[in-house]
Amino acid sequence: MPDASHSSFRTFDPAREEGAVPPQRSALRDRLRQGGGAAGAAAPAVTDETPAAPFRSYDPATMGPAATQAAPPEDGLRPLSQTELTERAPPRPEAPKPAPAPANRTQPEPEPVSENALHPIGVVLEIAGSGSQIAIDLERLNQCMEDADPSVALAGQVGSQIKIRVGQTWLLASVRNQKQGRTGNSVIANIDFLGEGQEEKLTGKLHGFKRGVTRYPVPGALVFPATTPDLKQVYASDGRDAITIGRVYPTKDIRAGLYVDAMLGKHFALLGSTGTGKSTSAALILHRICEAAPEGHIVMIDPHGEYSAAFRNTGVILDVSNLQMPYWLMNFEEHCEVLLTATGADRNIDADILAKCLLASRAKSRLASTMGKITVDSPIPYLLSDLTNEIQTQMGKLDKSTNTAPYMRIKNKLDEIKADPRYQFMFSGMLVGDTMAEFLCKIFRMPADGRPISIIDVSGVPSDITATVVAVLSRLVFDFAIWGREEKTRPVLLVCEEAHRYVPSEKNADGNSVGKILSRIAKEGRKYGISLGLITQRPSDLAEGVLSQCGTIISMRLNNDRDQAFVKAAMPEGARGFLDSIPALRNRECIICGEGVAIPIRVSFDNLDESRRPASEDPSFVELWSQSGGEEDAVERIVQRWRSQG
């Protein structure tokens, strides 16, 4: 998690960013004269016989009564002329010059008030703890569809927001579903309560929105459309540090923000089918975090090598050519995954032999002699040749409890790895030195030096040890946080792309250590300042316990029914109306719910510059298959790289 006190953070206010115009007195006066009030509030109608004193208008240039509203002079008092009023008025540098007639004055354009927003569209039928049932007038629904305000135009439809007056407060709700009413001119809809805000007495607008419900409406309460100004108040920041990532649907100018501390403090998950813009959206969120926290510490596991292009200028790219991860950083379980090939009872025998030989090899290190007691999991450098010699020594003993077959299996696997050039990024003899501190600083970006993210490209890692490499990196993040509790907190964000490969569901679990450590980070990492970000296209193949630990869920379009049901089970009840629209989302649109937002929202992501996008664009078959030339040379180069495994 980035440092929330950093000066790069800013509090976003959708209303302020878009240059919203405050309500003007003239607009309020006209509405009161028309008897409209605020959202249908009872206000006295103004007629020709009604005294004009309560509605005295003021000249904004002189702050005195307008000429058309002047009262007759009282005894002993001489009314001030227009010139005298102007001379006595305090200096107003920005005030317009007084005009002779009120009709010729130029005043700021008042914020437009939707006529449809002032009248109810339905009534509450039934109340429950988390939601309610309402009846909507079909004629009013059709009238709202023609409104210029996009929020009012969608009022009453699935996924839209409506508001209900409860005393002096507005209760905001989301429409979950619709069905035909008993009569032909009504629609029955279920709604989910989102939160409540105060009602301005004069304008009727919503302000001071807070999540949760403290007072429920009663059957018969009127239902009104939620306007764009209302939603600006709802989505406005409450003072916490946030990043903006897009535009709130269906509005045209309300910016969507994510509260950074809340999102990272309780983990997050980004879900979406292939081709929905998931990778680009992930890059957008990470770019925004890096811009807000240039001294942050972010580690991203990239299994396909697609994020290197996106963060080449703002991060550090680590792959098999420069990762240089020492083999001795593995614990005993990870050693077993790499070196043991047997199964069943034979694997247990091999594990006992490896544990004894590995501990003896670590003990021969000069560093071990200064440490006192060590264990088989201690990250102490040792020589691969020492491990080989120890295996041979134990194999030659006459009092061994088994034959030589287990020893030969371990030794042969070790010799195979040492001779394979694909494993040199990890099992090189040059990595025997004690470089643990330098390696941790490199992958955790400490210090960040303006490049707070490290992209670890594991696409070139042999597939049989990819899970082990990810396990080592994830465990280093967790162990570093545990042993660093006495120091100043240095939160680390671990982002795992294709998370279902490393944290599979129980039916797909293979017992690898990477699933165990990522599950532990999801459950306990928050206590130690570790944030986990999971990105996957198959949430149904992800361990359910891990997804349930994610406080913020960002769901893009999901085409599979099992995936949709899985996400609905993990999301809070208040987001059900939004979840039904997951299959209908467009590319680069998402539903966000949880701790990172005030209420569940549908967001259209911002566009990202070409140079900051990941290399995940779909190829154009028609264009590429219409070109020819150079195929033979390309095949030769591919074969050369293939053979050299580089």
Establish if 422 belongs to a structural domain: yes
Residue ending a domain, among 187, 203, 226, is 226
- pTM for the full model? 0.77
Residues 75 and 168 reside in one and the same domain: no
HEC string of 230-242?
HHHHHHCCCCCCE
Establish if 66 belongs to a structural domain: yes
Burial of residue 216 (number of CB atoms within 10 Å: 0-12, 13-18, 19+): middle
Return the minimum-mean-pLDDT range out of 93-102, 330-339, 513-522. Answer: 93-102
DSSP letter (8 states) at residue 129? S
Establish if 388 belongs to a structural domain: yes
Bond into 447 cis (ω within 30): yes
Does 183 or 266 have the greater pLDDT score? 266
Confirm if 567 and 558 have CB atoms less than 8 A apart.
Answer: yes
Instruction: Express each pLDDT in 233-277 by its tens digit.
Output: 888 777 788 899 999 888 888 888 899 999 999 999 999 998 888
* Cα–Cα nearest to 464, from 422, 503, 432: 422
DSSP letter (8 states) at residue 96? P
Establish if 292 belongs to a structural domain: no
DSSP letter (8 states) at residue 582? G
Residues 414 and 352 reside in one and the same domain: yes
Does 296 or 646 have the greater pLDDT score? 296
Residues 136 and 204 reside in one and the same domain: yes
Residues 134 and 220 reside in one and the same domain: yes
Q: What is the CATH number of the domain that holds 167?
A: 2.40.30
Whole-angstrom distance, CA of residue 212 vs CA of residue 227: 20
Task: Provide mean pLDDT across the span 176-194.
Answer: 86
Strands 268-271 and 552-555: parallel
Residues 136 and 61 reside in one and the same domain: no
The boundaries of the domain holding residue 84 are 53-89
Whole-angstrom distance, CA of residue 619 vs CA of residue 93: 60
Establish if 417 belongs to a structural domain: yes
- Return the axis-axis angle of helices 332-339 and 463-483, rounded to nearest 10°: 170
Confirm if 467 and 503 have CB atoms less than 8 A apart.
Answer: no
Instruction: Express each pLDDT in 55-75 by its tens digit.
Output: 344 343 433 444 444 444 444
Return the minimum-mean-pLDDT range out of 134-148, 210-224, 233-247, 601-615. Answer: 233-247
Share above pLDDT 90 across residues of the chain, in percent, rounded to a whole number: 41
Residue ending a domain, among 410, 426, 442, is 426
HEC string of 304-317?
CCCCCCCCCCCEEE
Instruction: Express each pLDDT in 296-312 by its tens digit.
Output: 999 999 999 999 999 99
CA dist 96 to 89, 101, 104, 467, Å?
13, 13, 12, 71
Establish if 415 belongs to a structural domain: yes
Give the contacts of 631 (CB within 8 A, at least 6 positions apart): none
DSSP letter (8 states) at residue 58? B
DSSP letter (8 states) at residue 387? H
pLDDT at residue 577, as a whole number: 64
Establish if 347 belongs to a structural domain: yes
Establish if 519 belongs to a structural domain: no
Whole-angstrom distance, CA of residue 194 vs CA of residue 593: 11
Residue ending a domain, among 202, 226, 250, is 226
Residues 422 and 333 reside in one and the same domain: yes
Query: For the chain, what is the domain count?
Result: 3
Residues 83 and 164 reside in one and the same domain: no
In this prediction, residue 130 has a pLDDT band, given cuts at 50, 70 and 90, of low
Please give the structure tokens belonging to residue 492.
């680390």
Instruction: Express each pLDDT in 451-487 by its tens digit.
Output: 999 999 999 999 999 999 999 999 999 999 999 988 8
Give the contacts of 638 (CB within 8 A, at least 6 positions apart): none
